[in-house]
Structure 1
C-alpha cells in the first residue's frame, strides 16, 4: 500500500450538481457532503485536483471562458483546488485526455508531482474510474441518479456518497 498523494475529483455530478453544459457560475451547487469531503482531504494534507470532461467546448455549446468562470466559482465555493485539468474535446475527437482515457489523470498527477498510483479519482460514472485504472490510479465510483446500474455493477470500489468515499480513504489510513 502507498500513501494517498492526491484525490482527483470529477466536477459535474460528483462535487457539484450536474447541469448539462453549464456556462453559468450562478448554477453551481455542491452535492451533499462535498464541502466536508474536500475539507477532510485538505485537512489530511493531501493535494486536491479536478479532472473534468467539458465536451460542450468541442461541441460549440460553451466557450472555454464560460467553463473557466464556472470552475472559478467552484474554487470560490470549495476553496482553490491544487490543480485543474479539463478536456475540451468532443467525444469523436479521439483525444487521449477525455475520460475514460488516462490523460487527465496522468496530467493532474504530473502537475502535482505525484505518481498516478498514489492518486485516487472519485467520480460518478464509469468513465471516471476507467480513466483512473488506465492511468494506474485508484478509482471510486459514487453513483447518483444518472449513474447506470451496469456501471455500478462493474465498479471495483463504490461509495454511497462522496463523504463516505473520503471517509473510507481516511479509515484506511489514507493509503491505497
Structure 2
C-alpha cells in the first residue's frame, strides 16, 4: 500500500536559514518545527527532506559533509518522537566549479527528480502527499511531482516568478500553520475517519 508523505525543504523551512550550513552545531529548528513534526507523526505521514545543496558544486563544502547533516537531522527528528525516512540532496549547479557537480540536472529544484526518487524508494503516493517550502522553486518541484504544496511565506522568496505550477495550494506564515492546515485538510480527515471505521469494524467482528 502506498503511503502519504510530507516533503520538507531544509533551510528556511525546517531549519533556520543559515547559508551553506553543513555544521551540525548550527542546525536549529525553525519556529514551530518541533510541534509540526510531532503533528505529522501523529497523523502517520512519512517525512522526507529534499534540499538543493549547491555549495558542493560551488566549492563551499564537500558532498561528504552532508553525511553529518543527515545524521544530525535523524537525531533531531528522533528527539521529536518521529522518524526521518530520508534526506535527499542535489549537489549540482550549472554555474558550479567542482566537477562532476557543475552541471544542469533533473534533481535541482524546481526539477522534481528528488521527489520522484523518494517516492519510488519509499512507496509514496504523491497525490496524497504535500511539499512544504519557503520559495517558489520548492512549490514548482512539488507540483511537478504531483503533490499538493504549501508556501511558508517568511520573506525568503524575493523573485516571485509567477507560473501555474508555482502557485501553492496553501500559503501560511510558518511551518506549524502548514502542519495544522495539512492534517486538517479534507483528504486527511477522510483517511483518519476511514481508518477509525475499519478499526471499529474489526473490533465488532471479534
TM-score, scaled to structure 2: 0.77
2:92 to 68, 79, 89: 89
For 2:176 and 2:153, the matched residues in 1 are separated by 12
| Partner Cα separation in structure 1 for residue 52 and residue 114 of structure 2 | 9
Q: Which runs of 5+ in 1 are unaligned?
A: none
Matched residue, 1:73: 72
Contact persistence 1:7–1:121 (CA under 8 A): yes
Compute the displacement of 1:122 (Å): 0.3
Larger radius of gyration: 2
Instruction: Give the CA deviation at 1:4.
Output: 7.2
Structure with higher RCO (Cα < 8 A, 6+ apart): 1
Q: Hey, what does 2:197 align to over in structure 1?
A: none
Report the count of equivalent residues: 174
Task: Report the CA distance shift for 1:151/1:78 in structure 2 as closer, same or farther (over 3 A).
Answer: farther
Distance 2:34 2:63 in 1: 25
CA drift of 1:155 comes to 3.0
Query: d(CA) in 1 for partners of 2:92 and 2:110?
Result: 13
Kindly indicate whether the alpha-carbon contact (under 8 Å) linking 2:3 and 2:125 is maintained by their aligned counterparts in 1: no
The CA deviation at 1:149 is 6.9
How far apart in 2 are the matches of 1:102 and 1:122?
Answer: 13
| Partner residue, 1:27 | 26
1:123 maps to 2:123: no
How far did 1:10 drift? 0.5
Question: Which structure 2 residues correspond to residues 102-141 of structure 1 after superposition, within 5 A?
Answer: 102-141=112-151
Are the counterparts in 2 of residues 120 and 132 from structure 1 also a CA contact under 8 Å? yes
